[in-house]
Amino acid sequence: MLVKKFDPTIKLTNYSIQLTEKNTRQIEQKELIGWNPYVQYRNMPLENNQIVYFKLSSTGILPELELILTDDVSKLKTDFFALDNDIISIYLNSRVNSLTDIKMDFVITDYNYDRKTDLIYIKGITNLNLLQVQFQKAYRKMTSYNVLSEISKKIGLGFVSNFESTDDEMTWINPRTGLERFIKDVTIHAYKDERSFFWSFIDFYYNFNFINVEQEMEELASKTYGLIDSGISLFTTGKEPDNAVTPLTLTYSKDPENYSNTTILEYEVYNQSMKKSFETGYKKNISFYDKLLNYNKGAGGWLDFNIDTSRSDTAVKDNIVLKDMPGEKSGFYEYNIRYHYLGKLDSDNVHQNFLVAYVQNLFNISELQKIYIIVKLAMPNYAIQRFTKLKLILMDDSSTDNKIFLNKRLSGAYIVTGVIFEVNDNTFVQKLILCRRELTKENLDI
């Protein structure tokens, strides 16, 4: 389970919103701000009819923003043309008191005006400029967990994780690389044990997330809870409905009367299992020279061994593992091994599993993305965070008798690896990228 270790201290742009109505109407108007994305550029709020396209995404290490805007009064083309280090702010109302609103500042990285369409195109990344600065620093006798925690405090980020420590103490050196690149390097060389692999990112709430993905994969999907909301009760009363917190299950439905923030409107399935198998193999053979392996004899030693991807015994028993056909072990399975010579390991300078961790982390991350689904929800669900595990129930239509049936192979437990909020054609939706490495056999909870 993801737990916040400490809160962010980032100072965001302050802005005030002028309400047009008076008295009690102002209260209602205030409550509705951010139900659709609120965007402000410098001191100028952007009207909803100016926003042709809006995309707030968290799929990499940093949240990113994309906008396509109209500019009928020509302010964005002239006086407000983007300057260096210019900031654009967004606000999304979580709609319930128990969830945190999204309020972020983005530094504009691309600002283009298309004369043919008369549209402004803007791209931005989270305004954390320290991540782009080159530092030289040695983090002496620290684990990767402690290094990333210290960097988070330096930048002003909170820190979220689902574990307490790693087994990789060493002196981690940043030799004047950008801090974002150094964070990626520390993450990919992080090590706890042979069953763990790691991913890190900054979320919409300015928390640095350092995740032991295998540990989260082994959680039961039924343990993830969320607030079920049809949008109507919150809109009319401003109160959370009673008994609405239940295990978070996303369900595909075509019935508008039953739409809620757990309803899947559309989904696209991508099966790249065999492609991944060709690229990464079913196993990895790694070899390297350890300079201190036979230290007492005054010599090093050569190490050569295979590693496989992590997966729990329960998953192997209850799911279809995508490594050759179920129940068969062909010659391809036996020989589909990728070989990696990793060079020399000097464990005076790095932790003992420094080279192994690199392959183990990349291999498992690739394996996790063998099957992924992009779903579009009927309305935003702010309870869903990256790298939580949840359950999907996917129903398909029979082409012969028009009956609806459960897709047993694709239904089941998934890990959320990406969250996207999008406005297109005046419709505000949320998209999720959901990944898994096995197909369901019987148990929809793992």
DSSP string for residues in 275-333: HHHHHH-SEEEEEEEEEEEEGGGTEEEEEEEEE-----HHHHHHEEESSSSTT---HHH
Q: Please report the pLDDT score of residue 315 as a whole number.
A: 63
**Which domains, ranges and CATH numbers included, belong to the chain?**
34-127 (2.40.10), 130-215 (3.55.50.10), 218-272+370-440 (2.30.280), 274-362 (no CATH)
Question: Which letter does DSSP use for residue 241 in this model?
Answer: P
Separation CA 367–CA 361 (nearest Å):
10
Q: Which residue has the tokens 């009064």?
A: 73
Separation CA 196–CA 340 (nearest Å):
20
CA–CA distance from 411 to each of 143, 301, 389 (Å)? Answer: 38, 48, 13
Q: Please report the pLDDT score of residue 28 as a whole number.
A: 62
Separation CA 201–CA 184 (nearest Å):
9
Q: Please report the pLDDT score of residue 318 as a whole number.
A: 77
Contact yes or no for 259/378 (Cβ under 8 A): yes
Q: Please report the pLDDT score of residue 236 as a whole number.
A: 47
Q: Cβ contacts of residue 157 below 8 Å, gap of 6+?
A: 8, 10, 128, 202, 206, 207, 208
For 5, phi then psi, to 5°, come to: -85, -40
pTM above 0.75, yes or no: yes
Intra-chain end-to-end CA distance of the chain, in Å: 15
H/E segment holding residue 356: helix 354-368
* Among 383, 390, 432, 397, residue whose Cα is nearest residue 411: 390
The tens-digit pLDDT sequence of the chain (446 residues) is 889 999 999 999 887 777 766 665 655 667 778 899 999 998 888 988 999 999 999 999 999 999 999 988 888 888 888 889 999 999 999 888 888 999 999 999 999 999 899 999 999 999 998 998 898 999 999 999 999 999 999 999 999 999 999 999 999 999 999 999 999 999 999 999 999 999 999 999 999 999 999 999 988 888 888 877 766 444 444 545 544 678 889 999 877 777 888 999 999 999 999 999 999 999 999 999 988 877 565 567 888 888 888 876 666 677 888 887 777 767 788 889 999 999 988 888 899 999 999 999 999 999 999 999 999 998 899 999 999 999 999 987 766 667 778 888 899 999 999 999 999 988 999 999 999 988 888 888 88
Which residues, listed in sequence order, are joined to residue 115 by a DSSP beta bridge? none
Separation CA 406–CA 395 (nearest Å):
5
Q: Which residue has the tokens 């990344």?
A: 125
* Among 160, 157, 155, 159, residue whose Cα is nearest residue 129: 155
CA–CA distance from 258 to each of 48, 229, 263 (Å)? Answer: 27, 11, 8
